[in-house]
Amino acid sequence: MDNELFMNTELPPPSEMAMHFEQPSSSSAMLNWGLMDPNLARNSPPQDCFMWEKSTEQQQSIFDSALSSLVSSPTPSNSNFSGGGGDGFIIRELIGKLGNIGNTSGDIYGAPMNGNVSRSASCYATPMSSPPPMMNRTAPLTEFSGDPGFAERAAKFSCFGSRSFNGRTNSGIPVNNGKIVNSGKLTRVSSTPALKALASPEFASAARPMIPAGDSPPKLPGEFSRKRKSVSKGKSKDNPLPAASPSPSFSKTAERKEVSEEKGGKRRREDEGEEEEGNKGGNDTKPPEPPKDYIHVRARRGQATDSHSLAERVRREKIGERMKLLQDLVPGCNKVTGKALMLDEIINYVQSLQRQVEFLSMKLSSVNDTRLEFNVDALVSKDAMISSSGSRVHESGLQLESLSHHNYNNNSQLNTNVSSNNMMLHSPMKSLEPSALARGFTHLPTLTQFTDTISQYQMFSEEDLQSIVGMGVAHNPNHESQSQNMKIEL
Amino acid sequence: MASAYNPIYTDVPEKDVFALHFLQTLSNLRTQNSFSSPDNKTSDRVKKIKKAAYVSMARAAGATNRLWSRSLLHQAAKRNNKNVRFLRRKRRVTWLMRRRSNRGDPIEDVAAERLRNLVPGGGGMETSKLMEETAHYIKCLSMQVKVMQCLVDGLSPK
- Tens digits of residue pLDDT in B95-115: 555 555 555 567 677 777 888
Domains and their CATH numbers in chain A = 307-377 (4.10.280)
Of A315, A27, A39, A12, the closest CA to residue A176 belongs to: A27
Q: Which of B44, B149, B152 is the best substitution to test chain A (most A C-beta atoms within 10 A)?
A: B152
> Which chain A positions have a beta carbon within 8 Å of B151's beta carbon?
364, 453, 456
Cβ atoms of B120 and B71 within 8 Å: the answer is yes
Q: How far is CA A367 from CA A235, A371, B21, B46, B57, in A?
A: 55, 6, 19, 11, 20
- Residue B19 is predicted with a pLDDT of 80
> Which chain B positions have a beta carbon within 8 Å of A360's beta carbon?
53, 145, 148-149, 152
**Alpha helices (H) in A130-200, listed in sequence order:** 131-134, 148-156, 193-198
Of A108, A128, A136, the closest CA to residue A258 belongs to: A108
Please indicate whether, in this complex, the C-beta atoms of A459 and B15 are within 8 angstroms of each other: yes
**Which residue on chain B is closest to A320 by alpha carbon?**
B128
Please indicate whether, in this complex, the C-beta atoms of A376 and B31 are within 8 angstroms of each other: yes
* Separation CA A16–CA A152 (nearest Å): 9
Cβ atoms of A51 and A13 within 8 Å: the answer is no
* Separation CA A92–CA A110 (nearest Å): 15
> Which chain A positions have a beta carbon within 8 Å of B11's beta carbon?
none
Amino acid at residue number A363: K
From the CA atom positions of chain A, what is the Rg in Å?
36
Q: How far is CA A361 from CA A356, A358, B26, B54, B62, in A?
A: 8, 5, 11, 10, 22
Instruction: Pick B156's closest partner by Cβ from A319, A344, A367.
Output: A367
For residue B134, pLDDT over 80 is answered with: yes
> Which chain B positions have a beta carbon within 8 Å of A350's beta carbon?
115, 118-119, 134, 137-138, 141
Walking along chain A (490 residues) 10 residues at a time, the average pLDDT comes out as 48 44 44 45 45 48 53 48 51 57 46 43 45 46 50 53 45 43 43 44 45 44 43 42 42 40 41 41 46 63 77 84 82 78 85 88 73 49 47 42 39 40 39 37 36 43 42 43 45
Cβ atoms of A72 and A35 within 8 Å: the answer is no
Please indicate whether, in this complex, the C-beta atoms of B20 and A346 are within 8 angstroms of each other: no
Instruction: Pick B111's closest partner by Cβ from A329, A344, A379.
Output: A344
- Residue B8 is predicted with a pLDDT of 64
In the DSSP assignment, the letter for residue B123 is G
What predicted TM-score, i.e. pTM, was given to this entire model?
Answer: 0.42
The pLDDT of B141-152, averaged and rounded, is 85
Q: How far is CA A458 from CA A219, A374, A425, in A?
A: 66, 20, 10
Global ipTM: 0.83
Q: How far is CA A219 from CA A180, A225, A266, in A?
A: 26, 8, 15
Cβ-Cβ contacts under 8 Å between A and B: the total is 181
- Residue A466 is predicted with a pLDDT of 44
**Which residue on chain B is closest to A339 by alpha carbon?**
B108
Amino acid at residue number A146: G
Q: How far is CA A209 from CA A55, A215, A362, B46, in A?
A: 31, 11, 73, 74
**Which residue on chain A is closest to B41 by alpha carbon?**
A365
* Separation CA A192–CA A190 (nearest Å): 5
Burial class (CB in 10 A: 0-12, 13-18, 19+), B101: exposed
**Which residue on chain A is closest to B30 by alpha carbon?**
A373
- Residue A149 is predicted with a pLDDT of 57
| % of chain B with per-residue pLDDT over 90 | 0
Please indicate whether, in this complex, the C-beta atoms of B111 and A339 are within 8 angstroms of each other: yes
For residue B137, pLDDT over 80 is answered with: yes
**Which residue on chain B is closest to A379 by alpha carbon?**
B24
Query: In this structure, is the dihedral angle defined by the CA atoms of residues A316, A320, A322 and A323, taken in order, positive or negative?
Result: positive
CA distance A357 to chain B (A): 6
Q: Say what angle helices A14-26 and A57-72 make with each other, to 10 degrees.
A: 130
**Which residue on chain A is closest to B54 by alpha carbon?**
A357
Measured distance between the N- and C-terminal CA atoms of chain A, rounded to whole angstroms: 82
Of A297, A295, A276, the closest CA to residue A287 belongs to: A276
- Residue A294 is predicted with a pLDDT of 67
The pLDDT of B128-157, averaged and rounded, is 83
CA distance A175 to chain B (A): 24
Q: Which of B6, B14, B16, B100 is the best substitution to test chain A (most A C-beta atoms within 10 A)?
A: B16
> Which chain B positions have a beta carbon within 8 Å of A315's beta carbon?
103, 127-128
The pLDDT of B70-88, averaged and rounded, is 66
Please indicate whether, in this complex, the C-beta atoms of B111 and A343 are within 8 angstroms of each other: yes
Instruction: Pick A374's closest partner by Cβ from B27, B141, B147.
Output: B27
* Separation CA A212–CA B56 (nearest Å): 63
CA distance A308 to chain B (A): 11
- Residue A312 is predicted with a pLDDT of 85
The pLDDT of B18-26, averaged and rounded, is 79
Please indicate whether, in this complex, the C-beta atoms of B148 and A353 are within 8 angstroms of each other: no
Q: Say what angle helices B67-79 and B127-155 make with each other, to 10 degrees.
A: 60
For residue B31, pLDDT over 70 is answered with: yes
* Separation CA A252–CA A258 (nearest Å): 18
User: Which of A175-189, B1-15, B46-60 is predicted with the least confidence, judged by mean pLDDT?
Assistant: A175-189
For residue B55, pLDDT over 50 is answered with: yes
> Which chain B positions have a beta carbon within 8 Å of A357's beta carbon?
50, 53-54, 141, 144-145, 148
- Residue A208 is predicted with a pLDDT of 46
For residue B141, pLDDT over 80 is answered with: yes
| Higher-pLDDT residue of B5, A87 | A87
Q: Which residues are within 8 A (CB) of A455 and not within 5 positions of it... i.e. 6 or more apart?
A: A422, B150, B153, B154
> Which chain B positions have a beta carbon within 8 Å of A346's beta carbon?
115, 134, 138
* Separation CA A376–CA B120 (nearest Å): 29
DSSP A18-74: HHHHHHHHHSSS--BHHHHHHHHHHH-----GGGGTT--HHHHHHHHHHHHHHHHTT
Q: Which residues are within 8 A (CB) of A279 and not within 5 positions of it... i.e. 6 or more apart?
A: A287
What element of type H or E holds A464? Answer: helix A462-474
- Residue A91 is predicted with a pLDDT of 57
The average confidence (pLDDT) of chain B is: 71
Kindly indicate the confidence band of residue B27, based on its pLDDT and cuts at 50, 70 and 90: confident
CA distance B131 to chain A (A): 6
Q: Say what angle helices A421-438 and A405-415 make with each other, to 10 degrees.
A: 150
